[in-house]
């Protein structure tokens, strides 16, 4: 693990020569993961919350290289879907340490989780609807559960991630005490859970802590001495724009502790984005450069199928010309090969003037990057390589067209 752990890693901090060599060896588009940075980010967060139980929120990046590295550090894993549970177990997690936070879980997911819990009774299932607990009981489950609370306060970088005020997520705040009383006779109620939003930076921190305080107050109202934990979720962000300052996690830790106050139950936190966002970049090659009356257009081989966040959330990701970083910058629009205007990574963004066959890097691609990769336009998903202890290895091979059509070919056999 790297001993140098600045609070955020910019694209200029990556070894450009190494990135060029990786692109030459493995092709593009290519995700490049720095495992040491993942571990350093996790350690920095854990240091800021020494009395909390810190779990990694797997949905940010479920790659085995990430999960295994964090498990080696003693991190536990929080999973939002049955597939994430399976991936955590495959990476070496003890199922008794896992927490499953369901959102409208399909029947197959609940069947799978209950089956795991039969052999691993330490697993905790979090429900965000009364129906979820009824469905668990119908399956004969009476083990460890937590209630997901909707605090009515949402925070984060986009309205689509402000889960704390979205009715889809959690039990309405005022309904929790009655539900807690009802569940205690049916299950082993061990905790409360809330998640306010994602990508929280300084401007959102006061609202985030206000929501944390509401959840802590509710825990005390229903008897925090009878709970094993209160889970305040994650949501702490990293600056995607290079002129935005990163969070001072030690100061954040103090502010969160003040918001929680005295609590008999164990505090849990679930960083996801904070751990992995700046630990990965996406490499893409320029294939088209054209000047139009409206814009200078740079076409690349990555697309919204490779990195969906700009199209889905209008997210800003830094872009750097790795081949010629010192060349004079000019405003360009950078987009991929998909037949939609949404397939754009930047519009009128100053970038060192790209030329055909040069290599660009897109930063902060570790959180919800490969996780949201897809096969739109029948594009094979990219490869991913991991840098660890000075060595590089392929952790996800590049898909082929055979992979893209395999499920159809197998169905016709």
Phi, psi at 120, each rounded to 5°: -135, 80
How many of the other CB atoms lie within 10 Å of CB of 140?
8
CA 209 to chain CA mean position, Å:
20
**C-alpha to C-alpha distance for 164 and 119, rounded to whole angstroms:** 33
Close Cβ partners of 383 (under 8 Å, ≥ 6 residues apart): 26, 27, 30, 31, 394, 396, 397, 398
For 116-223, where are the E strands, in sequence order? 124-127, 144-150, 155-156, 171-172, 188-193, 197-198
Which residue in 79, 281, 338, 339 is the catalytic one?
A: 339
Q: Which two tokens stand for residue 112?
A: 């799978």
**C-alpha to C-alpha distance for 358 and 342, rounded to whole angstroms:** 23
The residues facing 266 across adjacent strands are: 229
How many of the other CB atoms lie within 10 Å of CB of 20?
16
304: left (phi > 0), else alpha (psi -120 to 50), else beta? alpha
3-state SS, residue 382: coil
DSSP string, 94-125: -GGG-EEE-SS--HHHHHHHHHHHHH-TT-EE
Residue (of 56, 54, 51, 48) closest to 253 by Cα position: 48
Phi, psi at 30, each rounded to 5°: -145, 125
- Relative to beta strand 280-291, strand 53-57 is unpaired
- Relative to beta strand 383-388, strand 30-34 is parallel
For 295-368, where are the E strands, in sequence order? 296-300, 319-321, 329-335, 344-352, 359-362
Q: Calculate Rg over the CA atoms of the chain.
A: 22
**C-alpha to C-alpha distance for 155 and 198, rounded to whole angstroms:** 7
- Relative to beta strand 197-198, strand 155-156 is parallel
Active-site residue flag, 209: no
Active site residues: 339
């Amino acid at each position: 693990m790297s001993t140098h752990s600045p609070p955020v890693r910019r694209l200029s901090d990556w070894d450009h020569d190494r990135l060029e060599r990786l692109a030459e060896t493995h092709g593009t588009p290519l995700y490049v993961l720095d495992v040491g940075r993942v571990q350093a980010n996790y350690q920095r967060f854990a240091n800021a919350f020494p009395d909390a139980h810190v779990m990694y929120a797997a949905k940010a990046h479920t790659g085995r290289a990430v999960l295994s590295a964090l498990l080696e550090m003693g991190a536990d894993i929080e999973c939002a879907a049955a597939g994430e549970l399976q991936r955590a177990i495959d990476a070496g997690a003890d199922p008794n340490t896992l927490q499953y936070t369901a959102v409208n879980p399909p029947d197959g997911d609940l069947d799978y989780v209950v089956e795991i819990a039969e052999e691993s009774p330490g697993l905790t299932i979090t429900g965000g609807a009364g129906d979820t607990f009824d469905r668990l009981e119908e399956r004969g489950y009476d083990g460890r559960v937590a209630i997901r609370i909707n605090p009515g306060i949402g925070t984060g970088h986009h309205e689509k991630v402000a889960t704390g005020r979205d009715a889809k997520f959690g039990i309405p705040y005022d309904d929790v005490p009655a539900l807690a009383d009802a569940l205690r006779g049916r299950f082993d109620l061990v905790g409360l859970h809330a998640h306010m939003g994602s990508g929280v930076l300084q401007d959102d921190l006061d609202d985030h802590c206000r929501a944390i305080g509401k959840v802590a107050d509710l825990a005390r109202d229903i008897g925090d001495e009878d709970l094993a934990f209160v889970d305040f979720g994650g949501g702490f962000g990293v600056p995607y724009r290079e002129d935005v300052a990163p969070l001072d996690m030690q100061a954040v830790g103090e502010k969160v502790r003040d918001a929680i106050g005295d609590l008999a139950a164990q505090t849990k936190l679930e960083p996801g984005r904070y751990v992995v966002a700046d630990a990965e970049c996406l490499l893409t090659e320029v294939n088209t450069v054209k000047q139009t009356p409206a814009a200078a257009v740079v076409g690349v081989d990555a697309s919204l199928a490779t990195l969906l966040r700009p199209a889905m959330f209008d997210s800003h990701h830094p872009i750097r010309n790795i081949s010629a970083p010192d060349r004079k910058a000019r405003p360009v629009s950078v987009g991929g090969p998909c037949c939609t205007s949404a397939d754009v990574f930047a519009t009128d963004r100053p970038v060192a003037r790209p030329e055909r066959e040069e290599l660009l890097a897109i930063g902060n691609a570790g959180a919800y990057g490969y996780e949201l990769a897809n096969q739109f336009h029948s594009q094979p998903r990219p490869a991913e390589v991991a840098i660890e202890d000075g060595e590089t290895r392929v952790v996800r091979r590049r898909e082929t067209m055979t992979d893209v059509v395999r499920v159809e070919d197998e169905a016709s056999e």
